[in-house]
Amino acid sequence: MNQIPYPSLPVLLVDDEIEMLRSFELTLRAGGIKNIMRCHDSRDVLAFLSNREIGVILLDLTMPFISGDELLPIINRDFPDSPVIIITGDTEVDTAVQCMKVGAFDYMVKPVEESRLVSGVRRAIQIRELQYENLKLKERMLSSRLDNPEVFSEIITNNETMLSIFQYVESIASSPKPVLITGETGVGKELMIRAIHKLSNCRGQFVSVNVAGIDDNIFSDTLFGHVKGAFTGADKTRKGLVEKASGGTLLLDEIGDLNPDSQVKLLRLLQEHEYFSVGSDLPKISDARVIVITNKDLQALQKSGRFRNDLYYRLCAHSIHIPPLRERLDDLTLLVDYFLEEASHSLGKKKPPPHEGLITLLSNYHFPGNIRELQSMIYDAVSNHKSKKLSMDQFKAHFDQEDSTGKTDSSRFFPKHDFCFAGSKSLPTLDQTNRLLIEEAMKRTNNNQSMAARLLGISRQRVARHLKAKKL
């Protein structure tokens, strides 16, 4: 794949001095801004802008033929989406104020400090990209379509929430900003990451590292590499994973467990696209797309002081939360059929038809391990399959084992924060409560008495007696 240069829309440098154009370009390229175009004749600027979309414009004020202060109001009127940064030798405050009034994004006086130039252009790029992403997201949401549905083919779903996530992923695919993906274990975060990598059209590799539990020295050496002689045993220079992921995607797994010292270094990488190899004073520039995933509540960690505020907000530039399977039960039929096909092919067996009550049985399970757990259950059932229809015994045995380990808690049945009778002036009697529970269990199991009894942890005979008494 071809790499999309940063930024995705080019930066246009406009100055009549060729040497100044060359100097600006070298400075920006050293700062990681490589998609650059130059124009030394001000008469060509408007035609240039009409023929292609430009991200940011650096405009000199004093030029022959058409001056920058003549071009600025025209650009602001006809191409309002492209931020204009004025760069001039004019030190008059009135000139700067007038340019800002006309619509300049920023104003810099020559000679411009390199860090000031790079940071100013980066800020303008971020504003431009945010506007572009919002526009693309709005278009996708209104059209309810996917431009690249094949990229998501490994994610089996027809759930509306998941499809809206696909649309969001397409809208941010070309953004260089980090992506934060959250969700419980087994929901498919890794598949979403690979979809983002494919959509980004990166020429570089997909590089993954689990940062849980590693100290700062190992983190720095693993990600940033080291130079020869940096420490005892460093007999040769070694490249880090950040450099290995150049032009590609760098995945940091279990980011919620990253130690505080390493959080500082990651923040610098994300903010400045800059890092230092261990033992080196020379910074390196990274153009890797950073994706981080966690199954922890980063917001809670941030509020407790265990995760840096600035890093948290930097990571939240693009945030994706993948819902657990219990919140997308409409996908069960699709997933069961897919995993039955997959398991049968893998095990060299004929695909068995599922029991007609299987989906109902699964719909009343809480799936702590989500889709990965469902896949394992179906593989286990197919491996033990001997009759015509797929037996539900293996699934029931799994549920019994899950309950016996004590992993099931009251949050499976009741709201997280409020008891279900909170706010009621009076409580129902035990007989009324039993009746309500049995009726609800029958609804959830499509009037299957055995499943209802199993759901409630009582005998089938007790359910039958209740139903019989109700008819009398």
Q: How far from each other are the two terminal CA atoms of the chain, in whole angstroms?
A: 72
pLDDT at residue 19 tops 60: yes
Where would I find the H helices in 294-429?
298-303, 309-315, 332-347, 358-363, 370-383, 393-404
Which residues are CB-neighbours of 128 under 8 A, at least 6 positions away? 7, 9, 55, 56, 81, 82, 83
Domain 11-129 in CATH: superfamily? Response regulator (3.40.50.2300)
Domain at 144-323: CATH code: 3.40.50.300
Task: Give the residue-averaged pLDDT of 151-165.
Answer: 93
Whether residue 417 is predicted with pLDDT greater than 70 in this model: the reply is no
pLDDT in tens, 430-451: 777 778 888 888 887 877 877 7
pLDDT at res. 404: 62
Could you give the CA distance from residue 396 to residue 373 in angstroms, rounded to a whole number?
A: 14
Question: Which pLDDT belongs to residue 37?
Answer: 95
pLDDT confidence tier of residue 419, bands split at 50, 70 and 90 = low
* pLDDT at residue 452, as a whole number: 79
Query: Can you list the positions of beta strands (E) in 160-263?
Result: 179-182, 206-210, 249-253
What is the pLDDT confidence band of residue 424, given thresholds at 50, 70 and 90?
Answer: low
Cα-flanking dihedrals φ and ψ of residue 99, to 5°?
-65, -40
pLDDT at residue 399, as a whole number? 84
- Report the percent of the chain where pLDDT is more than 90: 54
Confidence (pLDDT) at 68: 92
Domains 11-129 and 144-323 share a fold: yes
The reported pLDDT for the residue numbered 329 is 93
**Rounded mean pLDDT, 364-376:** 93
User: At which residue do the structure tokens 């290995």 appear?
Assistant: 244
Does residue 348 surpass a pLDDT of 60? yes
Q: Across the chain, what does the average pLDDT equal?
A: 87
pLDDT in tens, 173-200: 878 889 999 999 999 999 999 999 989 8
The pLDDT tens digits for 213-247 are 889 999 999 999 999 999 988 899 999 999 999 88
Domain layout of the chain by residue ranges:
11-129, 144-323, 327-471
pLDDT for the residue numbered 142: 60
pTM of the model: 0.69
Average pLDDT estimate for 153-162: 93
Model pLDDT, residue 143: 63
How confident is the model at residue 430, as a pLDDT? Answer: 79
Mean predicted confidence (pLDDT) in 265-271: 91
59-113 residue pLDDT tens:
999 999 999 999 999 999 999 989 999 998 888 888 888 899 989 999 999 889 9
- Per-residue confidence (pLDDT) for residue 74, from 0 to 100: 95
How far, in Å, CA of 199 to CA of 195, rounded?
A: 6
- Interval 156-176 mean pLDDT: 89
pLDDT at 411: 44
Amino acid code (one letter) for 399:
F
β-strands 11-14, 56-60: how paired? parallel
Asked if residue 231 lies in contact with residue 187, where contact means CB atoms within 8 angstroms, the answer is: no
Average pLDDT over residues 152-163: 93
